[in-house]
Structure 1
């Protein structure tokens, strides 16, 4: 039985803004059991960075976990050789070379089309009308499910994200998630014959070419949709908001003193879009005097580690001049985000510079609330620009 101290939280307040609570946890109880989440949280950056690599102790294999139950056991929920085989199989889709030679031109084409279409309107919701659409179009080409409208891509992604973070066990949330995964299976069924006859670099195609099992193929496509839609969407909108509310930082980028990539990395540190990753304790382990027992559920709190006062000079400040290098926004171990290169290209090389180039005088038109503790991003973002 775990000896982790109990740390109670206000779940609603934690969803609205988890950072004050996480700061107290880092100081008072860096390894603590939170009954409202049913898990033991690791909140210090170096603890997460070191222990995420210990897959023999902190296992990603969670047969009873929400992701495995609702979406199938994807490569994120496998360790060792099983994980390596599937990661190698998908690499042709997400490699730096493929991103550069295949996906970037497509990212540029549809982003320009979206912004040119919206520009005469002079106002929109950055999250709903711009970021969601750019993210959805990118995911369509990368997954190979090109027949899905971008609105549907966002719907099925959000349904799965809600489902895998449904630790309160809301049956309505679970039902929506099941509806979304069933829809994705139908989209996969429709595309498989096409890609069998005309293979390409898409995720669905390269897995078929590698001979992965049908169950693994489907689970990995669902994994890509669940994270590949929400995370770029939330960073495109969130980074736009951060720039507009920090004009001194925007000036650094527009003047060429700081790159958009540096802005992307600092934002992902400051407001980690993927704020945590769950693990199952596979064998007894002691950390900071706390004894963890087999089958304990542990949450690696990336969002907390990225604001660790012992690592970052100004952890609570969006500051492009500080070193975001120690950030663990993409993870730290063998499960380091496979889509990192595609995400950096889409956001830092394409979406952000094009948004600020093609929407002159871009400005906020209202409040931009944020929400979420497992996945975090803006909930809406009304903006306007000059005609």
Structure 2
């Protein structure tokens, strides 16, 4: 039974609604070895939370794949596009362990201070309203992702880094190319995905190096200038690390925020009583965002590599193996959340782990929350007759929870 369940995790049915499959795994095989994924699938909240704190589970998850690919190649052959993509990503903060991770996160933390993100509320609200202005009076249907959820994060990131607003389309293209590799978006069958990602990475690398040089010469009030200025004693981020930080902010901030806004809006449209409640009680918006992240968050799975023998859920896990922490399953665990399949915008407490937990919790989580909160609040307020035009098609990806489009009638069905 469990073999059939895990084999469905990458199928179209699982992409559309993975939660019944997660429930089956939680009940019958909460820590299960999947031959299909060559990984342990961990689905209970308590086990996933424990895994985040387990030093035997490494977040340095790009380097082992790179080393394995190199070992399998011809000794004298030039590295392929896949190896070159992974080599460029291997030192990003999000895929490193202490002490390297500790140093990078400490130096980056100042640029992510709460007051800096909070100061962006007015700017983000203006950006959302500008995008929604373009929907007014249109009878639809239109794709809310293409119109709002997709362009917003790219524009915010460009603003934060001190880049020209007109460069946001380039940011979006680079993020999409990286998603082909990092999340398998579009399916693994796309044979050119590494070549496309490599081309995007090279363009992005050159762009950010030029931007770093410009900000070193002419600092501004942007986050990149703060990253350049941030130091502890004689330690500071070098140009390679600054470029990696920019790339990470671009990729992680764009993909996850787009999904958070789109998934949250869809959940509200599927639950009109909760949508009506949010319109009647706008003070619920902060709690609503947390519940929408728990209910159908942007990331389904986070990966870890095993570097020392450990135990999860009574199963022994050995060095060299891989672990998939299934956040989507943990956030619907009935042992942690009452009525977990019910959307309750006033749920409290709500200790979801949509952004991870522990030392590797998403450093940009506050920014993602801010963008999602403002976008959904403005959509709810300014589009009172918003209606779903068609059920979405979901991307067939193991790690991300993402739609292809979200077709809606902004002014209600004609």
Aligned length: 381
| 2:125 is equivalent to residue 114 of structure 1 | no
| 2:225 is equivalent to residue 192 of structure 1 | no
User: What's the counterpart of residue 259 of structure 1?
Assistant: 284
Deviation at 1:134, TM superposition (A): 1.3
User: What's the counterpart of residue 326 of structure 1?
Assistant: 351
Q: TM-score, normalised by structure 2?
A: 0.84
Alpha-carbon distance in 2 for matches of 1:324, 1:158: 35
Structural mapping, 1:51-200, within 5 Å: 51-54=51-54, 56-62=55-61, 63-65=63-65, 68-69=86-87, 71-101=89-119, 103-123=120-140, 124-146=142-164, 149-166=167-184, 168=188, 171-200=191-220
User: What's the counterpart of residue 33 of structure 1?
Assistant: 33
| 2:385 is equivalent to residue 361 of structure 1 | yes
1:149 is paired with a residue whose SS is helix
User: What's the counterpart of residue 7 of structure 2?
Assistant: 9
Alpha-carbon distance in 2 for matches of 1:26, 1:201: 47
Mark the CA change 1:5 to 1:283 in structure 2 (over 3 Å): closer, same or farther.
farther
Mark the CA change 1:217 to 1:245 in structure 2 (over 3 Å): closer, same or farther.
same
Per-residue deviation, residues 133-157 of structure 1 (Å, max 9, x unmatched): 1122112122333355333322211
Q: TM-score, normalised by structure 1?
A: 0.90
Alpha-carbon distance in 2 for matches of 1:324, 1:383: 32
Alpha-carbon distance in 2 for matches of 1:292, 1:119: 55
Mark the CA change 1:118 to 1:60 in structure 2 (over 3 Å): closer, same or farther.
same
Structural mapping, 1:216-227, within 5 Å: 216-227=241-252
Deviation at 1:185, TM superposition (A): 0.8
| 2:315 is equivalent to residue 295 of structure 1 | no
Alpha-carbon distance in 2 for matches of 1:8, 1:300: 14
- 8 Å contact 1:135–1:233 — kept in the other structure? yes
Mark the CA change 1:159 to 1:104 in structure 2 (over 3 Å): closer, same or farther.
same
Unaligned runs of 5+ in 1: none
2:359 is paired with a residue whose SS is coil
Alpha-carbon distance in 1 for matches of 2:340, 2:390: 26
Alpha-carbon distance in 2 for matches of 1:362, 1:5: 41
Mark the CA change 1:89 to 1:52 in structure 2 (over 3 Å): closer, same or farther.
same
- 8 Å contact 1:71–1:222 — kept in the other structure? no
Deviation at 1:318, TM superposition (A): 1.9
- 8 Å contact 1:43–1:304 — kept in the other structure? yes
Q: Give me the CA root mean square deviation.
A: 2.5
